């Protein structure tokens, strides 16, 4: 028979030879909840002329479970079944049941899983269900393809509690994608990550262990200033957009592995680990099967517009986000105009703040401010420019007092005494020339025109160890992200899909169409 597999740990759920129906069920991020009196129905097909002596039904249940009734075509497989022992709230336990061949029939079949006690307040949390002939038991997840959840990535809301503190404080979201599924030999790991550790460019470190259903994690951190504490997270859902999440960009690598001194192609790696701080320079993770990977990553260097030797280079185009403590949005006088030549910025404050986040860390050596069109009293007079690798700890880079713009649209440039790579820059205007509002037309940033690394150089080095295997060298080179497939603004171009994505999509659509066609044939009167 064709394997039956339903995986609720992915979004959308992965289905193989299955159509799912439900009553009194709810969908959670990594499982489906069957409430009291609820049931889950799975329609599947068995080919004509196939004799099955026995099949195996497997169900992964999360946490404290309610008793289960299971039937195949109305024939009982389990009645009030409950594994003995004490379950933890996040423990995943596998129920294995035998289905007699006489319960199966050629054509359409129905597997029903019921919450067995209508009076029981406990719920049944199902992560996945598989059914296959006894001779092929265990192949369903392999056939369905592993790692759909890992390929889409996850977002976790985090909390931090410093050593000695009594209260947890909200932290930045953790955005995570670790995908080795696109390997040349098809052996890329797709199992969920179980442990993860990383270090940022500032020296800040974190290490966490994930719950078995990926609904959260617990761990610890050490900040760049040496302070330590606990770190915990709760899954909020998948990454909101393929290839990009807020200001964090997925990095794509083509990789190689070293075997007996020879480097050979090892497929692609997609990597995103954004904790709201400095870019990650080292990351180590392991998965449920026991495979482990560790990388030291070169932090990308900004490449601004070309400059002649010794000249400054304008790197303002690398600003990915601008924030202001206030802006006049009703008239379109917003902070984004400062770096996009869209008009001026105006704040109804005498001491507003502006922050600029770059795509990658940049070493600003100079910056310029341009006065706006009217009311000289709105010009900044005193300000401080600060830099930060993580948006939390700030270093003063430049400080100015009693500065004057002598005419409208005057551009004034200021040189920094110190220049070091920062991801965030903050302009704190502490006073203007007497008005209730503050305004600027433009802010520009410059670096020293430093040379960048040659393209094609190795961008990470590390090691990889497959489940049950020996460790091997592992290295990779950054490559452009694949085209999303959407047309450009002019409507030209058809885009490009990764071969693996296309084949997965085609296979899933074909399987769904074939199953629906067969079901329709058998239920048609």
pLDDT digits 0-9 by tens, 396-453: 999 999 999 999 999 999 999 888 888 899 999 999 999 999 999 999 999 876 544 4
pLDDT of residue 487: 36
**Number of Cβ within a 10 Å radius of residue 64:** 15
Which one has a higher pLDDT value, 79 or 120?
79
Q: Give me the DSSP letters along 248-270.
A: EE-EEEEEEEEETTEEEEEEEEE
Mean pLDDT over the full length of the chain = 80
Report whether pLDDT(174) > 60.
Answer: yes
Range in 77-86, 334-343, 350-359, 368-377 the model is least confident about: 77-86
Report whether pLDDT(486) > 60.
Answer: no
Report whether pLDDT(184) > 50.
Answer: no
Q: CA-to-CA distance for 464 and 30, rounded, in angstroms?
A: 27
Range in 3-12, 150-159, 298-307, 382-391 the model is least confident about: 298-307
Render pLDDT for 289-346 as a digit per residue (tens, 0 to 9).
Answer: 889 999 999 876 554 444 444 567 889 988 989 999 999 998 889 999 999 877 899 9
Q: Report which secondary-structure segment, H or E, holds 340.
A: helix 337-340
Q: CA-to-CA distance for 502 and 44, rounded, in angstroms?
A: 25
Numbers of helices and strands, H then E, in the chain: 4, 36
Nearest-5° Cα angle at 427, 423 to 430: 155
Report whether pLDDT(386) > 60.
Answer: yes
pLDDT of residue 163: 94
Q: CA-to-CA distance for 318 and 302, rounded, in angstroms?
A: 8
Which one has a higher pLDDT value, 192 or 269?
269
**Number of Cβ within a 10 Å radius of residue 239:** 19
pTM: 0.52
Give the three-state DSSP class for 378: helix
Report whether pLDDT(481) > 60.
Answer: yes
Summarize the confidence of residues 192-221 as an average pLDDT: 90
Phi/psi at 381 (5° precision): -115, -45
């Amino acid at each position: 028979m064709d394997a039956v597999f339903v995986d609720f740990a992915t979004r959308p759920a992965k289905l193989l030879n299955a159509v799912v129906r439900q009553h009194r069920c709810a969908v959670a991020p990594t499982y489906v909840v069957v409430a009291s009196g609820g049931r889950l129905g799975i329609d599947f097909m068995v080919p004509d002329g196939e004799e099955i002596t026995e099949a195996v039904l497997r169900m992964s249940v999360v946490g404290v479970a309610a008793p289960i009734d299971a039937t195949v075509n109305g024939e009982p497989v389990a009645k009030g079944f409950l594994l003995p022992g004490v379950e933890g709230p996040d423990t995943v336990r596998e129920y294995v049941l035998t289905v007699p061949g006489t319960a199966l029939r050629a054509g359409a079949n129905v597997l029903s899983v019921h919450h067995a006690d209508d009076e029981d307040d406990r719920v049944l949390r199902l992560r996945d269900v598989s059914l296959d002939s006894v001779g092929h038991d265990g192949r369903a997840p392999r056939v369905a393809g592993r790692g759909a959840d890992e390929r889409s990535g996850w977002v976790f809301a985090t909390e931090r509690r410093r050593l000695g503190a009594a209260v947890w404080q909200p932290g930045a979201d953790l955005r995570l994608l670790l995908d080795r599924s696109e390997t040349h030999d098809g052996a890329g790991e797709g199992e969920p990550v179980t442990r993860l550790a990383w270090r940022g460019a500032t020296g800040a470190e974190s290490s966490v262990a994930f719950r078995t259903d990926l609904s959260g994690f617990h761990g610890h951190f050490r900040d760049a200033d040496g302070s330590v504490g606990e770190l915990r997270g709760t899954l909020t859902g998948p990454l909101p957009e393929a290839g990009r999440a807020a200001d964090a960009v997925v990095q794509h690598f083509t990789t190689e592995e070293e075997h007996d001194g020879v480097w050979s192609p090892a497929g692609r790696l997609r990597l995103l680990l954004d904790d709201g701080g400095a870019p990650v320079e080292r990351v180590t993770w392991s998965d449920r099967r026991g495979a482990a990977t560790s990388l030291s990553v070169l932090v990308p260097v900004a490449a601004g517009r070309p400059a002649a030797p010794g000249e400054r280079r304008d790197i303002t185009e690398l600003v990915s986000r601008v924030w202001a403590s206030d802006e006049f949005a009703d008239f379109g006088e917003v902070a984004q105009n400062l770096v996009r030549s869209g008009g001026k910025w105006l704040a109804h404050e005498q001491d507003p703040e502006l922050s600029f986040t770059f795509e990658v860390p940049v070493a600003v050596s100079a910056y310029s401010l341009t006065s706006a069109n009217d009311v000289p009293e709105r010009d900044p007079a005193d300000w401080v420019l600060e830099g930060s690798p993580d948006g939390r700890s700030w270093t003063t880079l430049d400080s100015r007092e009693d500065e004057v713009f002598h005419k409208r649209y005057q551009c004034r440039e200021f040189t920094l005494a110190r220049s070091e790579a920062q991801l965030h820059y903050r302009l704190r205007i502490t006073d203007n020339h007497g008005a209730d509002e503050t305004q600027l037309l433009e802010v520009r940033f410059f670096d020293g025109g430093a040379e960048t690394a040659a393209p094609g150089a190795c961008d990470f080095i590390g090691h990889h160890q497959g489940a049950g295997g020996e460790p091997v060298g592992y290295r990779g080179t950054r490559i452009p992200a694949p085209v999303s497939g959407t047309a450009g603004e002019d409507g030209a171009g058809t885009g490009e899909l990764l071969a693996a994505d296309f084949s997965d999509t085609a296979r899933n659509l074909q399987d769904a169409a074939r199953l629906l066609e067969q079901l329709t044939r058998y239920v048609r009167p």
